[in-house]
Amino acid sequence: MVLPELVSIVCGDNISTICPALGGSIIGWSVGEQEMLRRADADAIASGDPLAMASFPLVPFSNRIGNAQFIWKGREIQITPNFAPEPHAIHGTGWKQAWTIAERSDAYCVLKLQHDADARWPWPFEATQRFTLSAGMLELKLIATNLSDEPAPLAFGHHPYFDMDGAHLTFTAARVLMSGEDAMPYEAITPNGEFDFSTDSKVAGRSIDHCYAGWDDKTRIHWTGRQLALEITADMEAAVVYVPKDGSAFCFEPVPHVNNALNLPGELPTMPIVAPGEYFTATILLKAVNA
């Protein structure tokens, strides 16, 4: 089995491994003997599937664009669906492209990606991921630069997976966007029932694939019987929570806009619009703390 190149960064007992070739994905992150993300094993890496990694980038948009189409400045934009059998486009393009190593030190790594305009996304952009380890922390600095000659929609988030066994999740958001069988949001409501994580809540046993708006940018995950818990902060106003009914891992994804934002122009937070030569930037901080 020939595996793609892996890059490890280290700060004391804090270790993270990254795979540039597989969508610039994180393979794993551990503090001491505890895995803080769901680690991708050799079989997962060999599969070449970013969905089997510990986390992957969401650029130039998060989640789904309905039927892979939207109206932009009076013209209809059709992009390539990429999640069969769904008719939608999902997670952008960066997760399905190889990234290059731009900088690297013991505890620091920078990956870059240049996207040329094509059927997957009609505006060129450059994306940068900066991974930095410090005591008990993994920082993701995300930068997306508009290389086109017109203002363009451009955003950047991340898609981390966490072990569901014994997991408890706590965060507050103003609204959750309810979705239909087509996975498209149709109504924003106050989180309640299985969608409410405002108090310490067991994750397993729910079935959720929804976007939360008005996230207060503070989230805590802890696991029964484990020494370390995780705090997540980010300068973004939305988050996607994915809890498969019978899965072994769940997701809490800090993102800058609601699902299908380009077709929901009035729903906050909206899709960022970036001027030519300017950039969108966001930071996600994952911090291991005593449980």
Residue 2 is assigned to a structural domain of this protein: no
**Residue 191: per-residue pLDDT:** 98
**Residue 1: per-residue pLDDT:** 58
Say how many domains are in the chain.
Answer: 1
Each residue's pLDDT tens digit, 55-67:
999 999 999 999 9
Residue 101 is assigned to a structural domain of this protein: yes
* CA–CA gap between residue 205 and residue 192 (Å, rounded): 15
* CA–CA gap between residue 152 and residue 124 (Å, rounded): 9
- CATH number (domain holding residue 140): 2.70.98.10
Residue 201 is assigned to a structural domain of this protein: yes
Please report, as a single letter, which amino acid is at residue 139: E
Reduced to 3 states, what is the DSSP secondary structure of residue 149? coil
Residue 200 is assigned to a structural domain of this protein: yes
Residue 147 is assigned to a structural domain of this protein: yes
Each residue's pLDDT tens digit, 240-266:
999 998 899 999 999 999 999 999 988
Residue 1 is assigned to a structural domain of this protein: no
Q: Where are the beta strands (DSSP E) in 32-118?
A: 34-35, 57-58, 64-65, 69-72, 75-78, 89-90, 100-105, 108-115
Domain with 215, as residue range(s), is 7-290
Residue 222 is assigned to a structural domain of this protein: yes
Residue 108 is assigned to a structural domain of this protein: yes
Q: 153: part of which helix (H) or strand (E)?
A: strand 152-153
Q: How far is CA 213 from the centre of its chain?
A: 15
Q: How far is CA 288 from the centre of its chain?
A: 19
Provide the 8-state DSSP code for 38: P
In tens digits, what is the pLDDT along the chain, a chain of 291 residues? Answer: 577 999 999 999 999 999 999 999 999 999 999 999 999 999 999 999 999 999 999 999 999 999 999 999 999 999 999 999 999 999 999 999 999 999 999 999 999 999 999 999 999 999 999 999 999 999 999 999 999 999 999 999 999 999 999 999 999 999 999 999 999 999 999 999 999 999 999 999 999 999 999 999 999 999 999 999 999 999 999 999 999 988 999 999 999 999 999 999 889 999 999 999 999 999 999 999 999
